[in-house]
Amino acid sequence: MKNTYRRNTLAAVTFLLPSLIGFAAFSVLPMILSMGISITSWDGLSELALFSNTAFAKTYFAGFSNYARIFTGAELYQVLGNTLRFVLLYLPLMLLSSFGVASILNRDIPGGTFFRVLYYIPVITSWVAGALIWKWVLSPEYGVINNVLGMFGIAGPGWLQSPRWAMPGIVLASIWKDMGFFGLMLFAGLRGINQEYYEAAEIDGAGKGKQLFHITLPLLSPVFFFVITISMINAFQVFPQVMIMTPDGGPGGSTMVMVERIYRYAFRYYEMGYASAMSWVLFAIILALTLIQTRLQERWVVYDT
């Protein structure tokens, strides 16, 4: 028995070792280094100083001044406000659109496989290409959306040139990109619901509305919890669409978000220490929100099917 256990353990370690080495080298080690860099004023360019710990400490050590600068400055709170605005617009619209896609795909209609592929195309589309398309779609002069609104006598907004509408424009592009991914997850959840529940509900006279709120949504709640958690994490890390569609933080700084600021301080202003500190602040925020969601799931997620 012990020999079998040892052989199984050795086999497991052998297969897992390459992945563990890669995880340690490309995830754990950079995190440890970034924590150290966050208490320095390193510019990211003076690489040779890294080989001399004493010289590096004397030259670049800054203590917790980076964190003090973050929390005492006004920029963090503006950035968090913009991010919160994005989350409040993105999350409910994404959930509704994804559930709508899942409901459509769950119906036995001709060409169902084709529609599943069609809805998933934006997911595999490069954000660079997708963002450039959306810059054209949201153009106030020749964009598709404003042209359609003009057909009904509605003057479309400036979208990406407007401090008020720039973030909603980013949200529309983000929903277009993520809808198929999360919709496919919800579709899999719908397929996993036992149809006998619906048959029993119909016998009892329950309509479609009652079936939705008393069968579908409760049994789909574990998938919703996963989707909400992942989409919340993604929302706080929104970056490529912001950088491409609204460079320099958008009009009036209306689309400045955490990752965009981290990138700018690290690779535009060469304040690597400050950028690393902002990264750890972002990590703490995401971790806290994830723990809160995990704790609250006990009140609404139904695992007993």
Q: What is the pLDDT of residue 107?
A: 83
pLDDT in tens, 59-90: 788 889 999 999 998 999 999 999 999 999 99
Question: Which 8-state DSSP code applies to residue 44?
Answer: S
Q: Under CATH, domain 70-300 is a member of which superfamily?
A: MetI-like (1.10.3720.10)
Nearest CA to 170 out of 234, 257, 242 is that of 242
Note whether 10 and 31 are within 8 A (CB). Answer: no
Most confident of 115-129, 178-192, 193-207: 178-192
Amino acid (1-letter code) at residue 232: M
Q: What is the 3-state secondary structure (H, E, C) of 11-32?
A: HHHHHHHHHHHHHHHHHHHHHH
Give the residue, 141 or 54, on which the prediction is more confident: 141
Q: What is the pLDDT of residue 1?
A: 56
Instruction: Measure Cα distances from 7 to 14, 19, 119, 149, 301 in Å.
Output: 10, 19, 46, 68, 40
The yes-or-no verdict on residue 48 having pLDDT over 70 is no
Window from 2-11, 18-27, 190-199, 253-262 with minimum mean pLDDT: 2-11
pLDDT in tens, 4-13: 778 888 888 8
* Residue 108's pLDDT band (cuts 50, 70, 90): confident
- Report the first-to-last Cα separation within the chain, whole angstroms: 37
Q: What is the pLDDT of residue 305?
A: 55
Query: In sequence order, which residues have a C-beta less than 8 Å from that of residue 76 and are 6 or more positions away?
Result: 70, 278, 281
What are the tokens at 158?
A: 């400036």
The whole-number average pLDDT for the span 18-45 is 88
* Residue 53's pLDDT band (cuts 50, 70, 90): low
The whole-number average pLDDT for the span 46-51 is 54
pTM to 2 decimal places? 0.86
pLDDT in tens, 280-292: 999 999 999 999 9
**Residue listed under structure tokens 């050795």:** 10
pLDDT in tens, 187-222: 999 998 888 888 888 888 888 889 889 889 999 999
Burial 86-99 (b: 16+ CB within 10 A, else e): bbebbbebbbebbb
Give the start-to-end residue ranges of the domains of the chain. 1-28, 70-300
R_g over Cα of the chain: 24
Nearest CA to 178 out of 238, 137, 219 is that of 238
